[in-house]
A and B are shown apart, each in its own frame.
Chain A
Amino acid sequence: MPTVSMTVNGESVSSEVEPRTLLVQYLRENLGLTGTHVGCDTSQCGACVVHVNGKSAKSCTMLAVQAEGSEVSTIEGLADGDTLHPMQEAFRENHGLQCGFCTPGMVMSAIDLVQTNSDPSEHDVREWLEGNLCRCTGYHNIVKSILAGAKAMQG
């Protein structure tokens, strides 16, 4: 079995994996980082979004070995101790989550949006979320959260 090495949430990790292991499986099953979720098998739902080298990526659509040498960050790595990342805090403040299953992917995706476009409009947010499904919220409060989170990230 090949060995894969990467940095996850700032820590170096290295493991032997079956070549067919997906990045999301590696994070969840090898590293125990179960905050990243699997909601579908066709790369449609976005519950598995993480950052690879600072950009959002669907971790169900990458093999673990493709992330060799990469910097990966997941929802678990966002908060600073007890202090939530401004985007996490915005979701809490604006009731941007219900069952919580899509939330990690939404938050990771939203942070990448703000890194790409620091002052997104509501339309920008809705368009950006085309790769993330939520079945609970009707997106109303997710959009509100991301707009608030974008402001907070600039502040």
Chain B
Amino acid sequence: MTETNIGAPIKRVEDKRFLTGRGRYTDDLNQPNQLYACILRSPHAHANLKKVDVSQAKAAPGVIDIFTGSDMAADEVGSLPCGWQIHSKDGSPMHEPGHPPMAVTKVRHVGDQVAIVIAETKSQARDALDIIEVDYEVLPAAINMDEALSGKALVHDDVPNNMCFDWEIGDKEATENSFSDAHKVVSIELVNNRLIPNAMEPRAAVAQYDPSNGNYTLHTTTQNPHVIRLLMGAFVLQIPEHKLRIISHDVGGGFGSKIFHYAEEAILTWASAKVSQPIKWTAERSESFVTDAHGRDHETKAELALDKDGKFLGLRVSTKANIGAYLSTFGSSVPTYLYGTLLAGVYKTPAIYCEVKTVFTNTVPVDAYRGAGRPECTYLLERLVNKAAKETGIDPVEIRRINMIQPDQFPYQTPVALQYDVGDYPRAFETALKASDYEGFSSRRKSSEDNGKKRGIGISTYIEACGIAPSAVAGALGARAGLYESAQVRVHPTGSVTLYTGTHNHGQGHETTFAQIVSDTLGVSIDQVEVSHGDTGEVQFGMGTYGSRSLAVGGPAVLKACNKIIEKSKKIAAHILEASVDDIDFKDGVYSISGTDRELAFGEVSLAAYVPHNYPIEELEPGLDENAFYDPLNFSFPAGCHICEVEIDPETGEVEITDFTAVDDIGRVINPMIVEGQVQGGLAQGIGQALMEGCVYDNEGQLLTGSYMDYTMPRADNLPNLNVSTESVLGASNPLEVKGVGEVGSIGAPPAVINAILDALSSLGVEDISMPASPSKVWQAIHNAQ
């Protein structure tokens, strides 16, 4: 193995530009004659727009123009589309009310777009916002889900009771029967707290229209530029793809929140043609809070049926999912196919039924946030399993052992549509127990008790479906797009390589990981490989990065394109070496005839492809540039076990995470350093959800957690060192044998933390606590129990 090969922890090639302040984030870019935009946003959760008077603001210093929703409507600008159609139990399609980029008749959440001011400087644009006069007729708002379902206030007039859809999965009858046969039924009610993703880079966009050729260019902070081009071009602005270029070079974190096609992208692109000058908009953090799609926000009742030995017989789940004021790009897929399909977890539960009512409210749209549906699923399952352990008197370790799918049971068909391809759940589980010194916990508990503290340990297992997705399967489930990935490998005449990938790197280290795949496959050194992404003008096509799909779907596309390069190069080498193609071996960048010393270097063959003097020209075209599309055969299924240990000060309710152990099966590891970083980052967000983060609206729909002063996220002194390792079974559904790693931390961590807290407080009589388990909530729970 050379140091750049698959499996080596090589340092990231992208780091130098970030460390020297030379990243190219959207707000870093400026165009000649650029104007600046600020957006007027609704201060009300729900109101009729009676009148928007921009006349005085238009005359303000530096103001070039101001546009409103009516101006966009007059140009027949379309509605922001949803990419996934769900059908209700009764077969009817989900309600898809219009989502105009700027409000026309009504605003539906605090932050909804009302007008855009374009001025010579940002300060001038901002000043002018204050003198736009808007006559709002404030309406009653639907904020919490029960209230919304009562239908007293309708977010969209044509959606009765604010119910977007009422979906189900699983065999209801079989599940009911399993409950009639049950020795014991354990039930739980849970809230999966609403989160605000908060990538550190606020969203931004720079739009430019070239009147000389009718071309549009939009620099935007997106995780999937081609998807934005498709959605905005085809559905919103009617700009054909060849006239619309979307560029997102460096993006400062996404975690899902930068997947979606946002209104500002369409508003800026449209307005740039109106004023025939480039326009830049950058969100202030307070705007991000009220416009970036939020995550989670489920209320769930679940019941588990068990036999007399503690074996799971059936699982019944009823969930209400908040979808916010509008359907965001993938908002409908998150509480359905990314949630209900994972309810088997790593267990042999034979019958499962789940129903999900998805509800419009006068809040920011809710969509995918790191884990997307799978954290919600894992949280309910692992909380329920722990509760079952307690109520049956079976140890939490033992109840998991006896219900776990065994390695000889694969492929394993779950009762909720998915077929797990391969895995060894007991292996990761037992490894985690050992790595966390589970056996030694009681003595640590005693030490804590001696110091007046309460100590607890909590386990969570999880499974997730990544590598989204086989297009035909996704399509059958309602996806309105294919979910393959593309790669183009361009070998230059001297043998260096540019890889164009349709995935997007916003922190995941693709420029390194993907270069390692190319380096390994083609035998060129890693400094001879450049990875290009994030520009629809350069990359042929792509579906972008989310759902831990980049390596599982994008990686095999890279491999496939590299193999096409090798296939063609072998023919060139065979011609030059005057041998049969079948006799040509390719290894470590050298073409040779087996059993002889005749060989050609990778660079020599590349040069021959571009200087085809001695070349099989009748059979082969010159050049060495291959592209590939890869559509996966199945999802991939990372799984693992997370164990959290906490110490709680009962006097203050403060929870300290003393140890966190994560053992994850993520398939083949390309770069272990990057993998560890991905798991650590995910764990921090999962721990954040469990202990600190929670989005709070008041009854009028004002966001009370609208800044970093109010929305608490983990800081360095809130977290311990994280004990992270992998225990992998190679993936069976793609040729790279990878599974995906980006989301495992945020999926496994929350129930491990809460189970640990409940374990610690069990002796005090505390039976339940909701996330985030803040010190005040923990303190209150202790006092309520006494």
Q: How far is the CA of A125 from the CA of B745 in the complex (A)?
A: 24
Contacting residues, chain B, for A37 (C-beta < 8 A): 25, 200-201, 252
Q: B698-727 toward A: CB 8 Å interface, digit per residue (1/0)?
A: 000000000111000111110101100000
Nearest residue, chain A, Cβ from B24: A34
Partner of A134 from B200, B674, B708, B745 at Cβ < 8 Å: B200
Interface size on B, residues (CB 8 A): 56
Residue B19 at the chain A interface, CB threshold 8 Å: yes
Nearest residue, chain B, Cβ from A122: B721
Partner of B20 from A47, A84, A129, A136 at Cβ < 8 Å: A84
Q: Is the CB of A130 within 8 A of B717?
A: yes
Q: Report the stretch among B504-512, B585-593, B731-739, B752-760 that lies at the interface.
A: B504-512
- Report B1-52 residues with CB < 8 Å from chain A CB: 11-12, 14-23, 25, 27-28
Q: Is the CB of B11 within 8 A of A141?
A: no
Q: Nearest chain A CB to B746's CB is how many angstroms away?
A: 11
Given the contacts A33-B21, A92-B19, A130-B717, A47 and B200 also touching, CB distance less than 8 Å: yes
Q: How far is the CA of A91 from the CA of B11 in the complex (A)?
A: 10
Q: Nearest chain B CB to A13's CB is how many angstroms away?
A: 16
Q: Is the CB of B707 within 8 A of A140?
A: no
Q: Nearest chain B CB to A64's CB is how many angstroms away?
A: 13
Interface size on A, residues (CB 8 A): 54
Q: How far is the CA of A16 from the CA of B508 in the complex (A)?
A: 41
**Which one of B12, B15, B253, B506 has the greatest number of beta carbons of chain A within 10 Å?**
B15
Contacting residues, chain B, for A100 (C-beta < 8 A): 14-15, 17-19, 23, 250, 252, 507
Residue A45 at the chain B interface, CB threshold 8 Å: yes
* A-B CB pair tally, cutoff 8 Å: 179
Residue B199 at the chain A interface, CB threshold 8 Å: yes
Q: How far is the CA of A98 from the CA of B506 in the complex (A)?
A: 8
Residue A88 at the chain B interface, CB threshold 8 Å: yes
Q: How far is the CA of A41 from the CA of B708 in the complex (A)?
A: 9
Residue A53 at the chain B interface, CB threshold 8 Å: no
Given the contacts A126-B717, A138-B722, A41 and B285 also touching, CB distance less than 8 Å: yes
Q: How far is the CA of A41 from the CA of B719 in the complex (A)?
A: 25
Given the contacts A34-B28, A41-B707, A133-B200, A103 and B18 also touching, CB distance less than 8 Å: yes
Partner of B22 from A35, A127, A136, A140 at Cβ < 8 Å: A35
Residue B622 at the chain A interface, CB threshold 8 Å: no
Nearest residue, chain A, Cβ from B713: A133
Residue A8 at the chain B interface, CB threshold 8 Å: no
Residue A120 at the chain B interface, CB threshold 8 Å: no
Given the contacts A99-B201, A126-B716, A138-B722, A40 and B25 also touching, CB distance less than 8 Å: no
Nearest residue, chain A, Cβ from B285: A40
Nearest residue, chain A, Cβ from B198: A135
Partner of B253 from A79, A130, A132, A135 at Cβ < 8 Å: A135
- Report A47-106 residues with CB < 8 Å from chain B CB: 47, 74-76, 78-79, 84, 88, 91-93, 95, 97-104
Q: Nearest chain B CB to A121's CB is how many angstroms away?
A: 12
Q: How far is the CA of A14 from the CA of B285 in the complex (A)?
A: 30
Q: Nearest chain B CB to A86's CB is how many angstroms away?
A: 12
Contacting residues, chain B, for A135 (C-beta < 8 A): 198-200, 253, 255, 681, 684-685, 713
Q: Is the CB of B674 within 8 A of A41?
A: no
Q: Nearest chain B CB to A38's CB is how many angstroms away?
A: 8
Contacting residues, chain B, for A45 (C-beta < 8 A): 200, 285, 708
Nearest residue, chain A, Cβ from B15: A92
Q: Is the CB of A139 within 8 A of B506?
A: no
Q: How far is the CA of A125 from the CA of B717 in the complex (A)?
A: 8
Contacting residues, chain B, for A47 (C-beta < 8 A): 200
Q: Is the CB of B507 within 8 A of A98?
A: yes
Q: How far is the CA of A47 from the CA of B255 in the complex (A)?
A: 18
Q: Is the CB of A127 within 8 A of B717?
A: yes
Q: Is the CB of A107 within 8 A of B19?
A: yes
Contacting residues, chain A, for B717 (C-beta < 8 A): 126-127, 129-130
Q: Is the CB of B681 within 8 A of A97?
A: no
Q: Is the CB of A99 within 8 A of B506?
A: yes
Q: Nearest chain A CB to B669's CB is how many angstroms away?
A: 14
Q: Nearest chain A CB to B144's CB is how many angstroms away?
A: 27
Q: Is the CB of A79 within 8 A of B20?
A: yes
Q: How far is the CA of A2 from the CA of B715 in the complex (A)?
A: 38
Q: How far is the CA of A137 from the CA of B719 in the complex (A)?
A: 11
Q: B244-281 toward A: CB 8 Å interface, digit per residue (1/0)?
A: 00000011110100000000000000000000000000
Q: Is the CB of B16 within 8 A of A44?
A: no
Q: Nearest chain B CB to A80's CB is how many angstroms away?
A: 11
Contacting residues, chain B, for A42 (C-beta < 8 A): 285, 707-709
Q: Is the CB of B20 within 8 A of A142?
A: no
Contacting residues, chain A, for B684 (C-beta < 8 A): 135, 137-139
Q: Nearest chain A CB to B461's CB is how many angstroms away?
A: 21
Partner of B683 from A35, A104, A138 at Cβ < 8 Å: A138
Q: How far is the CA of A36 from the CA of B20 in the complex (A)?
A: 10
Contacting residues, chain B, for A137 (C-beta < 8 A): 677, 680-681, 684
Contacting residues, chain A, for B677 (C-beta < 8 A): 95, 98, 136-137, 141
Q: Nearest chain A CB to B774's CB is how many angstroms away?
A: 18
Q: Is the CB of A136 within 8 A of B507?
A: yes
Given the contacts A103-B18, A129-B717, A139-B684, A93 and B200 also touching, CB distance less than 8 Å: no
Q: How far is the CA of A2 from the CA of B509 in the complex (A)?
A: 44
- Report B157-216 residues with CB < 8 Å from chain A CB: 198-202
Contacting residues, chain A, for B391 (C-beta < 8 A): none
Residue B413 at the chain A interface, CB threshold 8 Å: no
Contacting residues, chain B, for A104 (C-beta < 8 A): 18, 21
Given the contacts A127-B717, A142-B716, A40 and B707 also touching, CB distance less than 8 Å: yes
Q: Is the CB of A44 within 8 A of B707?
A: yes
Q: Is the CB of A98 within 8 A of B509?
A: yes
Nearest residue, chain B, Cβ from A47: B200
Partner of B715 from A39, A74, A130 at Cβ < 8 Å: A130
Contacting residues, chain A, for B27 (C-beta < 8 A): 34, 38
Given the contacts A42-B709, A91-B15, A75 and B21 also touching, CB distance less than 8 Å: yes
Partner of A92 from B12, B23, B674, B721 at Cβ < 8 Å: B12
Q: Nearest chain A CB to B752's CB is how many angstroms away?
A: 15
Q: How far is the CA of A25 from the CA of B250 in the complex (A)?
A: 20
Nearest residue, chain B, Cβ from A127: B717
Q: Nearest chain A CB to B659's CB is how many angstroms away?
A: 13
Residue A150 at the chain B interface, CB threshold 8 Å: no
Contacting residues, chain B, for A99 (C-beta < 8 A): 18, 199-201, 250-253, 506-507
Q: Nearest chain B CB to A52's CB is how many angstroms away?
A: 17
Residue B284 at the chain A interface, CB threshold 8 Å: yes
Q: How far is the CA of A93 from the CA of B617 in the complex (A)?
A: 47
Q: How far is the CA of A99 from the CA of B714 in the complex (A)?
A: 17
Q: Nearest chain B CB to A126's CB is how many angstroms away?
A: 4
Nearest residue, chain A, Cβ from B709: A42
Nearest residue, chain A, Cβ from B19: A88
Q: Nearest chain B CB to A88's CB is how many angstroms away?
A: 4
Contacting residues, chain A, for B14 (C-beta < 8 A): 100
Partner of A103 from B19, B509, B682 at Cβ < 8 Å: B19
Residue B123 at the chain A interface, CB threshold 8 Å: yes
Q: How far is the CA of A34 from the CA of B677 in the complex (A)?
A: 26
Nearest residue, chain A, Cβ from B505: A99
25 A-B pairs, CB-CB below 8 angstroms?
A33-B21, A36-B21, A39-B200, A40-B707, A41-B286, A45-B285, A47-B200, A75-B21, A79-B19, A91-B15, A95-B676, A97-B18, A98-B507, A99-B251, A100-B23, A100-B507, A103-B19, A126-B716, A130-B716, A133-B200, A133-B713, A135-B198, A138-B722, A139-B719, A140-B680
Q: A103-B18, A143-B721 are in contact. List 14 more A-B contacts (CB 8 A).
A: A44-B709, A92-B15, A97-B18, A99-B250, A100-B17, A102-B200, A102-B252, A107-B19, A134-B200, A136-B507, A137-B681, A138-B683, A139-B684, A143-B716
The 3 nearest A-B residue pairs measured at CB: A35-B21, A100-B18, A101-B252
